[in-house]
Amino acid sequence: MTTKILKRKKNEGQVVILVALFAIFVSSSLIMIISSPVVSQLKTNRILFEAKKSYYLSESGNEDIVYRTKNGENIVGQKNILLNDGSAGTIVTDLGNGVKEVVTTANVNNKIRKIKSRIQVTSGVSFNYGLFTGQGGIEMENNTRINGSVYSNGSIEGAGNVMIAGDVYVAPRSATTTNLKWIVQNNDFAFGRYVGGQQRVDAVQSFATSTSELQVSKISLYVKKVGSPANLNIKIVKDKSGNPDKNNILATGEILSSFISENYAYVDVGFNNNPEINANQLYWIVADMARDDANYYVWGIDTSAGYSLGSAKYSSDWTKSAFVNVAGDLDFKVWTTDEEGLGTLDTVIVGDGVGGVFNAYAHNIIDSQISGDAFTYSLSGGTVGGNIIANSISNCTINGDADYNVETNCNVGGSSHSPTTPPVDPPYLPTPISEANIEAWKNEAISFGTITAGDLTADDGDTIGPGVIGGDLIIESNTTVSLGGTLYVLGNIIINGDANIELGAGYGANGSGLILSDGWIDLYNNVDLNYPRSGSGHLMLMSLARCDKYYGFTTCNSDVSAINVSNNVHADILVAPYGIIEMTNNVSITALVGDQLNLKNNIILNYEQGLTNMNFSSGPSGSWGIESWREIE
């Protein structure tokens, strides 16, 4: 047998390797061709993501400084922030005439974005709720309806087929008197600035009570201002070793700069809740400011230090700097809630009858129909279309979920949860017009002199104001007059059928005008006040008559009210801070503020909501408002 030995060619393995390398090359090329756009897109997305992070960082830094400036907070050390793997720096430039420019530059991995805001001192009054009532609350007779949301510092009492087509807030009524106060004033205490080497930026005053389980509804400070300072931040703080405890802030609030004038007045501040205070414990009122040596506040002080339950101090920064004793006591009033007026919503439909969903917030809700959610301590009777959080519920129907501690005879359509923490009551809100505003408007009218010492009956086509009318103002039927400036009427105001008051040409498209009266106001039969409006300006009609059960029935009209509106009236802004506003038969308004509102049978009240920055021709200047905002890089 012959054996053959086969020999492989030397280059046979090299061919296989070359083929494999060629295949790898082709595959790699295909992968690169396919993946290149994907990689490019991923890179682009990463760049865009970092740019967005830079944008949001810039926006955050800018908003932080604007917020702090608007609210009078310290911005030292806040102009540079680190966030989102990047940094942002803010430059604040004072442009003069009450204008500041805020420019924030953010950098995330060299992706630069810039935001520029311009803020200026605004003037005027803001109405955050188109319909606001004080401690007198609202009384609604049969078949009456309010179209819009309502905030009331007193109870709302309804009757048959009474409806509010909007959210409803009922805060506990504030007590009408207080003994938690010190009102002796014989000197000035400037703060929010350095005074002769004293770093008087934040001012504090302590107080105490001999009664436990009191809820604070508001505090009044006797203050005035110099220039145009930022809003005044007020806090109620517990004591720690004779000083305010920064870690025990019970409540926070804010007094708008526009509420404070160049003359002393007690100015109210409400808080984000109604904090409880107890006997024989020290509490502090903290006025928290940012330093501005040209624009600051002055607090009335008693240098004899006659208040034995507290003391006054100041600091350059109350949260981290030492306190310095003040020789005296700062003037204040602490008002607590009225235990007999804890805020009740009684026999009211909260809804619009066509599917609208609105919520209700009150200490007690009785026999009412709530289309949305209910937040209350006690619900008795009625229905809730949404969810409820309460301490107790009884004899009711809840279509949604129910959180409660006590339940009696209620049908719950959703889930039930118990125990729970009942919601806090809505806080007291100060009237959106302060006594300082009122006095400033009076003084402005007085500065123009007396128009007539007695009554004035206006003729058709007349322009009235600015100035003072010593008696009544009477506008007869079918008469149209123009308001030329702030008008102060020492008597009453009677406006008859088909009469009209317009804003004069001097107000332009944006200015707002004011007529205020020490007496009552009657509007009858097809009266139009600044209706229809041609611009953004408003006409406010204000009665200072004291005419309700809390301020006394001393200057009422024949209907026992401060303002009476009836029969097809189109008003703009009506204000009666110390009295009743009574309405009958088809009334439309822009905004309404009264200590009490009475709606007679079959009336439908329509109004606009959330008016802000109404710029009157005179009166206290306001706080910082945003004039413009834009991205510049």
Concatenate the DSSP letters of all residues of 181-223 into one string. Answer: EE----EEEEESEEETTEEESEEEEEE--SSSSEEEEEEEEEE
In sequence order, what DSSP letters do the residues of 244-309 get, joined into one string?
EEEEEEEEEEEE-GGG--SS-EEEEE-BSS--EE-TT--EEEEEE----TTSEEEEEEETT---TT
3-state secondary structure of 60: helix
The neighbour count for residue 447, using CB atoms within 10 Å, is: 12
What is the rounded CA–CA span in Å between residue 62 and residue 401?
41
Judge if 611 and 502 occupy the same domain.
yes
Judge if 289 and 365 occupy the same domain.
no
Can you list the residues of the chain whose pLDDT is less than 50? 1-9, 96-98, 121-123, 612-613, 617-624, 627
Judge if 473 and 537 occupy the same domain.
yes
Phi, psi of 67 (to 5 degrees): -60, -45
pLDDT of res. 109: 78
Q: CB–CB of 145/348 below 8 Å? A: no
Q: What share of the chain is helix, strand, coil (3-state, %, to 5)?
A: 10, 50, 40
pLDDT of res. 460: 94
Alpha carbon of 189 to those of 182, 208, 331: distances in Å?
15, 22, 10
What is the rounded CA–CA span in Å between residue 367 and residue 374?
13
Judge if 417 and 438 occupy the same domain.
no
pLDDT of res. 119: 66
pLDDT of res. 414: 96
3-state secondary structure of 566: strand
The neighbour count for residue 16, using CB atoms within 10 Å, is: 9
Could you tell me if residue 55 is inside a domain? yes
Judge if 23 and 98 occupy the same domain.
yes
Exposure of 140 by Cβ count < 10 A (0-12 exposed, 13-18 middle, 19+ buried)?
A: buried
Q: For the domain that residue 211 is a member of, what is the CATH number?
A: 2.60.120
Mind listing the pLDDT tens digit for each residue in 301-324? Answer: 999 999 999 999 999 999 999 999
Lookup result for tokens 């359509």: 413
Judge if 410 and 474 occupy the same domain.
no
Q: Which of 272, 197, 200, 187 is nearest to 235 (CA)?
A: 272
Domain count, the chain: 4
Tokens of 483: 């308001």
What is the rounded CA–CA span in Å between residue 297 and residue 189?
8
Alpha carbon of 167 to those of 131, 140, 150, 288: distances in Å?
11, 16, 6, 32
Alpha carbon of 575 to those of 14, 29, 132, 182, 590: distances in Å?
101, 80, 10, 30, 11
- Helices (H) then strands (E): counts for the chain: 2, 59
pLDDT of res. 99: 60
Judge if 420 and 501 occupy the same domain.
no
What is the rounded CA–CA span in Å between residue 535 and residue 531?
11
pLDDT of res. 630: 61
Mind listing the pLDDT tens digit for each residue in 3-62? Answer: 444 444 455 566 667 666 666 766 666 666 665 555 555 565 566 666 666 766 676 777
Domain boundary among 397, 428, 459: 428
Mind listing the pLDDT tens digit for each residue in 267-285? Answer: 999 998 899 999 999 999 9
Q: Which of 300, 150, 291, 149 is nearest to 224 (CA)?
A: 300
Judge if 551 and 449 occupy the same domain.
yes
Judge if 302 and 352 occupy the same domain.
no
Q: What's the first-to-final CA gap in the chain, in angstroms?
A: 93
* Maximum C-alpha span of the chain: 151
Could you tell me if residue 400 is inside a domain? yes
Phi, psi of 185 (to 5 degrees): -135, 120
Q: Which of 102, 301, 290 is nearest to 186 (CA)?
A: 301
Exposure of 107 by Cβ count < 10 A (0-12 exposed, 13-18 middle, 19+ buried)?
A: middle
Nearby residues of 422 by Cβ (< 8 Å), 6 or more positions away? 376, 377, 389, 390, 391, 405
* Strand-pair partners of 83: 86
Tokens of 521: 């106001």
Domain boundary among 336, 364, 395: 336
3-state secondary structure of 319: coil
Could you tell me if residue 633 is inside a domain? no
Could you tell me if residue 631 is inside a domain? no
Could you tell me if residue 3 is inside a domain? no
Q: What is the pTM of this model?
A: 0.75
3-state secondary structure of 372: coil
Domain boundary among 378, 394, 428: 428
The neighbour count for residue 604, using CB atoms within 10 Å, is: 17
Q: Which residues of 261-299 are buried (b: 16+ CB within 10 A; e: fewer)?
A: beebbbbbbbbebbbebeeeebbbbbbbbbbbeebbbbb
Phi, psi of 22 (to 5 degrees): -65, -40
Could you tell me if residue 599 is inside a domain? yes
Lookup result for tokens 């729970």: 420
Nearby residues of 612 by Cβ (< 8 Å), 6 or more positions away? 126, 127, 128
Q: CB–CB of 344/156 below 8 Å? A: yes
pLDDT of res. 281: 95
Could you tell me if residue 364 is inside a domain? yes
Tokens of 200: 């008087």
Could you tell me if residue 622 is inside a domain? no
Judge if 464 and 608 occupy the same domain.
yes
* Strand-pair partners of 132: 151, 593
What is the rounded CA–CA span in Å between residue 120 and residue 622?
9
Q: CB–CB of 602/590 below 8 Å? A: no
Nearby residues of 246 by Cβ (< 8 Å), 6 or more positions away? 237, 318, 319, 320
pLDDT of res. 620: 40
Judge if 350 and 447 occupy the same domain.
no
Range of the domain at 216: 180-336
pLDDT of res. 11: 53
Judge if 276 and 237 occupy the same domain.
yes
